[in-house]
Amino acid sequence: MRAVLADAFADDPALAWSFPDAARRPARLRRFFDLILHAAPRLERAHLAFDADGGLAGVALWRPPGDWALPLPVLLANVPRLIGCFGLALPRNLGLMGAMDHQHDRRPHHYLQFIGVAAAAQGRGVGGALLRAGIARASGTPCYLETATPANVGLYQAHGFGIRNQWRHRDAPDFWSMWHPGSG
């Protein structure tokens, strides 16, 4: 999963801001997604999509209602991993995490923390299929996500997400917080 996510997010504006050295970014992204997968003990589900040869093509990581924030004990337990991932840029990345938490919708919802499609599988409907599966499994409960990729806003809107707000933290790229009302 981490390799697909690292590949999918290689040019993501937010993660390029987090890891500005393009030569070191692939290794940093793998460490970052290792951290995400390790620090998400209540990760509700990972939707996976496979290509025709059985290789992993896409991943969607969803968190259950009420579990979108990283609890302080989990954050503290992962300080060594955070330092290994972000190095000297840890304070500015923690600032961005704080801004994301501040913007996050407080109503009950399923949180699409990350969705990524391997570069070789992009443009083939894999991301849309992962979105539809996640929304369906939310069983009518609202869903929330944020993106810093302008081109993805339309994809999410086509799947029923509306822009809740657009915001920026310091010199980071613009973010769009998006809400899917569910069917209930």
Task: Assess whether pLDDT exceeds 90 at residue 13.
Answer: yes
Average pLDDT score over residue span 12-20: 97
Q: What pLDDT sits at residue 160?
A: 97
Q: Which residues are CB-neighbours of 100 under 8 A, at least 6 positions away?
A: 146, 169, 175
Q: Which helix (H) or strand (E) holds 77?
A: helix 72-77
Q: What is the value of pTM for the model shown?
A: 0.93
Strand order in the sheet with 110-117: 45-50, 56-63, 110-117, 143-147, 175-180, 162-167
| Average pLDDT over all residues of the chain | 92
Residues 146-171 have a mean pLDDT of 97
Say if residue 184's pLDDT is above 60: no
Which residues are within 8 A (CB) of 52 and not within 5 positions of it... i.e. 6 or more apart?
A: none
How far is Cα 12 from Cα 58, in angstroms, rounded to an integer? 15
Whether 45 has a pLDDT exceeding 70, the answer reads no
At 42, the pLDDT band (50, 70, 90 cuts) reads low
In this structure, which amino acid lies at residue 153? Answer: V
At residue 22, the pLDDT reads 96
Three-state SS at 74: helix
Model confidence at 172: pLDDT above 70: yes
Exposure string for 48-71, b = 16+ CB within 10 A, e = fewer: ebeeeeeeebbbbbbbbbeebeee
- Domains, the chain, with CATH or none: 2-180 (3.40.630.30)
The β-bridge relationship of strands 110-117 and 143-147 is: parallel
**C-alpha torsion sign, points 111, 9, 149, 126:** negative
The tokens describing 17, both together, are: 């801001």
pLDDT tens by residue, 60-92: 999 989 888 888 888 899 999 999 999 999 999
Sign of CA dihedral 8, 12, 18, 21: positive
Residue-wise pLDDT for 106-133, tens only, equals 999 999 999 999 999 999 999 999 999 9
